Structure 1
Amino acid sequence: MADAMVERFVRDGFVKIEQAFPDRTARECASRLWAETGFDPDDPATWVKPVHRVGDMTAEPFVEAANTPVLHDVFDRLVGPGRWVPRRSLGTFPLRFPHEEEPDDAGWHIEASYSGDGVAWAHANVRSKDRALLMLFLFSEVGEADSPTRIRVGSHLDVPPILEPYGEDGVSIFDVAARVEAASAHRPLAYATGRPGDVYLCHPFLVHAAQPHHGHRPRFMAQPPLHPAVPHELERTDGAYSPVEIAIREGLR
């Protein structure tokens, strides 16, 4: 199963870990997130905008959700033992609500991982500086009508050739957004649906997008990075490449 999971990750750019953290933890986190919104869970009239963003959450339930033995084991398999930093918080949270207003953040993109040229958190480079994984933590039931994150399956392989010419300095993800979208347009779609406690672990270069919420249940999710403890390497003399690195190398072939 471990080998199959790694193969899926390298091929598709993500794996879904079902019940990666306990349901009781998901419920406690959701309750704290509701409190942050100021909305009434039982009164949709108070859900006054399509997206409400909550910043980093450092309370114990969020730290517990990010540090289960199951997740630590998979981090070791995908990034490499000793090559990632445990999370001491969880965020950010783009909480999405059924609303007549369309969200303004539903474009296809990859995540930025570091700052450059005076712009905070807007750059990426071909070695995925400062980001080991993109992670999607579900704190609510998410069906296809509940604004699940859209994923272009295998799109992480389309991104390395776009980033490579920019070298170690990298480039703003906004400057290459149109090229990333066009290069991955042929990829099949998947949706980050699931139950509270499910986690999607995604390659840093996976092309994904939000979407309008056409359901009835608010979607509570966190999308934090997993930070690397050491830089990714694309040329290792010992050949001990992580699956994250293997996928980047595959994309550059």
Structure 2
Amino acid sequence: MDSVDSVLGMENVDVERFIADGFIKVDQVVPREVGDEARALLWQQIGLSPDDPAGWTQPVVWAADLTGVGPFGQFMASPRLHAALDAIAGPGGWHRRGSVGNIPIRFPRVPPADDRGWHVDSNTQRADGSWGVSRRPATLLLLVLFSEVGKDDAPTRIRVGSQRDLVEVLDDDEVRDPMQMGPIFDEVGRDRAVALATGGPGDAYVVHPFAVHAAQEHFGTEPRFMAQMPVLLTAPLAPGNRTPLARAINW
């Protein structure tokens, strides 16, 4: 990565907004046409057509990029994205991903999936290799958009500032099953404002591992293509770390 591009990219990240809100949007980590190309490949992968709504019968269809080739690799190699991650997790504070991973595609005009509860993603690996949620997260969350996502297009909902609420209810040593934490997630940050992860192809969001978020029903007309992936930190987050990730939870 070019060092000048990295510095300029870091300067364009509103770190104080991330600390306050628990997430930040990064516009155009790749040009829009790269996002369009990725979306075209995903249509091919799932065997459906943007021109044939009759085939849109499921609320969610899962696709994946497991190789990082073509436009997906351009997303993962983006200097602008890398600079944003440096600004939030600190230079050298995160591991580069080679591929995008799983990509849920949400379709309109059908009954919604029952997967829209408030939650945070698993962020801590146990000794047996399984994952859960703890007060020492080893990941942050990255959202990458491959289509237009307006307010009616099932954008991810984020409770603004909820990362500071969740850290107060987690234990230092216990790794909890997020599937058993539904009532906790429902309550954490419930009085906070809700932001919508909207944007266009090529945009991304860097999200704190404790920011409570949720999917929502698709009220628009065109399918929504968005990846949601963990980015591994080089060390679990802990008090004394002075990155924006730590400052966002008052550590």
Alignment TM-score, normalising by the size of structure 2: 0.89
Mapping 1:86-125, distance limit 5 Å: 86-116=96-126, 120-121=130-131, 123-125=132-134
Q: Name the CA shift for 1:183/1:174 in 2 (closer, same or farther; >3 Å).
A: same
Mapping 1:60-99, distance limit 5 Å: 60-99=70-109
Q: Using the TM superposition, name which of 197-206 and 177-186 deviates more.
A: 177-186
Aligned letter for 1:150? Answer: R
Q: CA RMSD, aligned part only?
A: 1.9
Deviation at 1:71, TM superposition (A): 1.1
Deviation at 1:249, TM superposition (A): 3.2
Paired positions, count? 241
Of all paired residues, the percent bearing the same amino acid is 41
Query: 2:29, 2:13 → 1: CA distance?
Result: 18
Corresponding residue for residue 164 of structure 2: 157
Deviation at 1:151, TM superposition (A): 1.1
| Partner deviation per Cα, 1:210-237 (whole Å, 9 max, x = no partner) | 111111010000011111122323135x
Structure 2: 5+ residue runs without aligned partners?
1-9
Mapping 1:1-253, distance limit 5 Å: 2=11, 5-58=14-67, 59-116=69-126, 120-121=130-131, 123-128=132-137, 130-131=138-139, 133-163=140-170, 165=171, 167-235=172-240, 241-249=242-250
Alignment TM-score, normalising by the size of structure 1: 0.89
Contact conserved, 2:149 with 2:224, CA < 8 A, in 1? yes
| Partner deviation per Cα, 1:125-174 (whole Å, 9 max, x = no partner) | 1121x30x2111110011111111111111111110111x2x23421112
Deviation at 1:118, TM superposition (A): 6.6
Query: 1:103, 1:117 → 2: CA distance?
Result: 33
SS for the counterpart of 2:73 is helix
Structure 1: 5+ residue runs without aligned partners?
none
